[in-house]
């Protein structure tokens, strides 16, 4: 049986300023980009395909 390792979660360096509880964490996996609420990491996460995530980031950054 193959077990997938726990993804390595990270958050933006911008989350270090202001209210540190208002942030999401992101993890890159071979098949998807995972996003979770940093306030309660036990809750389910969202999974986005690479193209969907790239589109979201481009839109959010104003590109």
> What are residue 7's DSSP bridge partners?
none
Q: Where are the beta strands (DSSP E) in the chain?
A: 24-28, 33-37, 46-48
Q: State the pTM of this model.
A: 0.75
pLDDT of residue 55: 95
Distance CA 43, CA 21 (A): 15
Give tens-digit pLDDT for 6-61: 899 998 877 766 665 668 899 999 999 999 998 888 999 999 999 999 999 999 88
Return d(Cα 22, Cα 61) in angstroms, integer: 18
Q: Which residue has the tokens 């809750």?
A: 43
- pLDDT for position 19: 61
């Amino acid at each position: 049986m193959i077990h997938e390792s726990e993804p390595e979660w990270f958050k933006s360096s911008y989350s270090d300023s202001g209210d540190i509880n208002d942030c999401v964490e992101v993890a890159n996996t071979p098949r998807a980009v995972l996003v979770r609420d940093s306030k309660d990491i036990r809750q389910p996460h969202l999974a986005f395909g690479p193209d969907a995530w790239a589109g979201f980031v481009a839109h959010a950054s104003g590109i």
